[in-house]
Structure 1
């Protein structure tokens, strides 16, 4: 959440959003800036559109994406900052739901760059579903150097290294995501 976030206060004289009242839903998330309208109709040839954003909630682009999407996937690494940071993201999703996008929801949280040889990571894998019931994905993405190399080669991981463990992990995550969206 941006450090200058302010929760909107009810204003009895204020008209509803989109009525030309001069107030914009984006003011509460990013004062002085207004979220872009949702993208024009996306062609029917796409079942899903993904926006891969930086972890910063200070970015106007990221806030605009939250206004436009239905689901949010939250990746975390097994480190103190990531584990503590997911709460801020969930609060931001709730704020966006209240202010600008009533359809947005967190689809789930998954672990990335997992080192299965690490005791801490193995403990996190075992405890993750209990820590975040209903949000934790069972699938996690194992650490693999090809995950870093693929973007440098300007290729998706599945083309750059189709047999690496992370490629299989991402495929399993997609299956789990689809199951949640259908269920």
Structure 2
């Protein structure tokens, strides 16, 4: 069996008889990190459509992963509201729910829909067959569901497993202006695939110092991904849940901006009760209330994302 240190990404080959436990704690002999590992029944070999193309160092500026190892920082909220904002600006957008909790899928009113797991099991079918149209113009979804947990159990540690998502997205990415990938607050299979498939990472960060710990973890992981599987990947931090009425909150924002100078979006998402109200109704904030503070700020964020993407496109000869 193969286990992988979640800190330095070193792979270790262990004899299947090394332990009888299905879950155990291991210490990395490279970096000394203690991590939980599990004994898979059998890591399955992955069928790729075009592994060579998936491993190429190509620019995918329109593919953006939304990631932070800390929960509760508005990852799914940002993916949904940024996606719709881009669509309102006449961009064709695909949202990829790559979190087994399927919160993004539920937020768009989808239940029991075919998932990426189903698409991978039916490798001969087009990925288009598993992408569903949402009720919003120019916004599509590749759903998640309960069977997504099987991906980690079946493929994590298999040879080239981190290229699986990129391999499938390569077949549809020309159909969309932007692809946004929602990730869970963990590393393993899902986040590693999302970061390998993306050239940009949006890191939501709540305006408190404890949130910087999760940001630092993602930045370290991005550095490893850049060295191992995706040298083109870049990142930018988005500050969320800012309470402008709080002097302490504003002070923390300035200090964190200074800490990550040159690595942040100009747009900041403020605390807004409309976001919670919209979540209850499974709606993006801008659709629930066009005059909401957070909704208009996500529109500004979308404009900033478009400007960054356009600035990175080389001029035609």
Find the aligned partners of 1:128 and 1:167 in 2 and give their Cα distance: 23
1:10-89 to structure 2, matched below 5 A, reads: 32-33=157-158, 34-35=161-162, 36-38=164-166, 39-42=169-172, 44-54=174-184, 56-89=185-218
Find the aligned partners of 1:53 and 1:7 in 2 and give their Cα distance: 18
Query: For the Cα contact (< 8 Å) 1:128–1:136, is it kept in 2?
Result: no
Specify the alignment match of 1:22 in structure 2: none
Change (3 A) 1:124 1:173: farther
Q: Deviations over 1:48-90 (max 9, x none)?
A: 0111223x13342122111111100111012232122211111
State the number of aligned residues: 162
Specify the alignment match of 1:109 in structure 2: 237
Find the aligned partners of 2:238 and 2:173 in 1 and give their Cα distance: 29
SS at 1:168 equivalent: helix
TM-score, scaled relative to structure 1: 0.76
More strand by share: 2
Specify the alignment match of 2:8 in structure 1: 6
Structure 2 stretches lacking a partner, 5+ long:
12-50, 53-154, 312-317
Q: How far 1:151 sits from its partner (Å)? A: 3.0
CA RMSD of aligned residues (A): 2.5
Instruction: Please say if 1:157 is aligned against 2:285.
Output: yes
TM-score, scaled relative to structure 2: 0.46
Change (3 A) 1:46 1:86: same
Q: Deviations over 1:126-158 (max 9, x none)?
A: 344322121122211011122123233222222
Query: For the Cα contact (< 8 Å) 2:272–2:293, is it kept in 1?
Result: yes
Q: Deviations over 1:16-50 (max 9, x none)?
A: xx69xxxxxxxxxx962422241242253421011
Specify the alignment match of 1:179 in structure 2: 307
Greater relative contact order (Cα < 8 A, sep 6+): 2
Q: How far 1:3 sits from its partner (Å)? A: 6.1
SS at 2:238 equivalent: strand
Moved over 3 A (4+): 2-9, 125-129
Specify the alignment match of 2:222 in structure 1: 93
Structure 1 stretches lacking a partner, 5+ long:
10-17, 20-29
Find the aligned partners of 2:170 and 2:266 in 1 and give their Cα distance: 34
Specify the alignment match of 1:15 in structure 2: none
Find the aligned partners of 1:6 and 1:124 in 2 and give their Cα distance: 30
Instruction: State which structure, 1 or 2, has the greater radius of gyration over its C-alpha atoms.
Output: 2
Find the aligned partners of 1:32 and 1:44 in 2 and give their Cα distance: 29
